[in-house]
Copies of this chain bind each other. A is one copy, B any other.
Amino acid sequence: MEELLNIGIIGLGGRGLNLLEVCVLPRKNIKVLAVCDLYEDRRLAAAESVVKAGQPRPLVCADYRQVLDQEIDAVLITTGWTPHIDLACEAMYAGKYVACEVGASYSIEDCWRLVRVHEDTGTHCMMLENCCYGRYELMVLNMVRQGLFGEVVHCQGGYRHDLRDEVAHGRENRHYRFNNYLHRNCENYPTHELGPIAQVLNINRGNRLLTLNSVSSKAAGLREYLVAEQGPNGKDAGLKFAQGDVVTTIIKCAHGETISLTLDTTLPRYYSRGFQVQGTRAMFCEDNRTLFLDGEHNKFEFRSRELWGNAETYLNRYEHPIWQEYLKAGIKGGHDGMDWLEFDAFFQAVIDNTPAPIDVYDMATWMSVSALSEASIAQAGAPVSFPDFTNGKWISRKPL
């Protein structure tokens, strides 16, 4: 991967700056020609980082169109989720290979737009779903591909992450989630868990998501958090958040598998993506890092807790090749390596000008969960159908 690539970055809040510094600037073949953010402090900080890394000072701008006007091969979109699809489409029209951070959709039409612009322009777009590169997610995928789970029947996942501090102080901290939580009630962050599950189930590659049912709990966490902080007469104590604390979503797939997703971001808890895969021969559960193999483990052994954490002992045998190589080369990058690996995949796809491993069909399908769940929640969990964003191509598309 020694070919030189020129890129630009749009969106340099906490996450964008972090990705730039940890996953982009250490690569000697990637030159950052432009950095863009609506906030001056953010874009200046990014320019500073680029210069510190030994590169010429990039173009620093507030208007993303100036980035797209540059002679760049690819553009990273790392803004808050609201403008993701607009920016991704404009960047594809401009002929730049796009990498786009994860997030929610607001409408199904917007998801279709991603697909159409890609098909019209022939330009590619990859969703930066880092959790598809998680170590245990990939170990399980590796085992599933080897048939060790038998027939996979049910998967679970969640974005179970206490974000009360970020969301409640969104206005002061310029965090985009605040307004979303105030106005919308949906599965607003489905891809961290759905991405790895979609790969296990070959979604859009021989299988597809058919229907979804979503039900939301009441919204109590943020209110109580703000009252505890500001007192019952505090300026935000009376805010009414539309977003329920816990949203549970069940998805049914074309081949009969079910997927259960949980959004759980405004109550106190430990972080978990609740990744769980169950087949006719094995199961994996993230919450206690247990790998249960039929015939090998006793179903009542759990009571003695002997299985907790045993998945680690299988890494030797079932580590995914991507991680084997990564560990051999020496750990780099953020989020335990996931971010580094997703950028490896992205830059390689740009150099080869091949479709991204997580392409517009995946991006549209995974993001559509937010808009669909909003509709289902509003109808007491009524079933809502997924569009087939591939228009039938899922039947013949091969698993990666």
Contact = CB atoms under 8 A, between A and B. Distances in A.
Interface of A: 150-151, 153-154, 161-162, 211, 213, 215-218, 220-221, 224-225, 244-246, 248, 250, 252, 255-258, 260, 262, 264, 267-272, 278-283, 285, 287-290, 292-295, 297, 299-303, 305, 307-309, 379-383
A222 to B, nearest CB: 9
B268 A294 contact: yes
Given A260-B248, A308-B308, A267 B215 contact: no
A286 to B, nearest CB: 9
A260 B262 contact: yes
21 contacts: A151-B224, A153-B221, A153-B246, A154-B217, A213-B215, A213-B250, A215-B258, A248-B258, A252-B380, A260-B262, A268-B282, A268-B292, A268-B293, A269-B299, A270-B290, A270-B292, A270-B297, A270-B300, A271-B299, A287-B287, A380-B383
A276 to B, nearest CB: 9
Contacts of A162: 299
B217 A280 contact: no
A267 B280 contact: yes
Nearest to A260: B248
B257 A260 contact: no
List of 4 A-B pairs having minimum Cβ-Cβ separation, nearest first: A218-B256, A270-B302, A268-B294, A154-B246
Number of identical protomers: 2
A250 B376 CA distance: 13
Contacts of A256: 217-218, 220, 244
B257 A271 contact: no
A302 B268 CA distance: 13
Given A154-B246, A220-B153, A280-B221, A301 B270 contact: yes
Contacts of A244: 256, 258
Contacts of A252: 215, 380-381
Nearest to A212: B381
Contact of A300 (B218, B221, B271, B380): B271
Nearest to A262: B260
B305 A245 contact: no
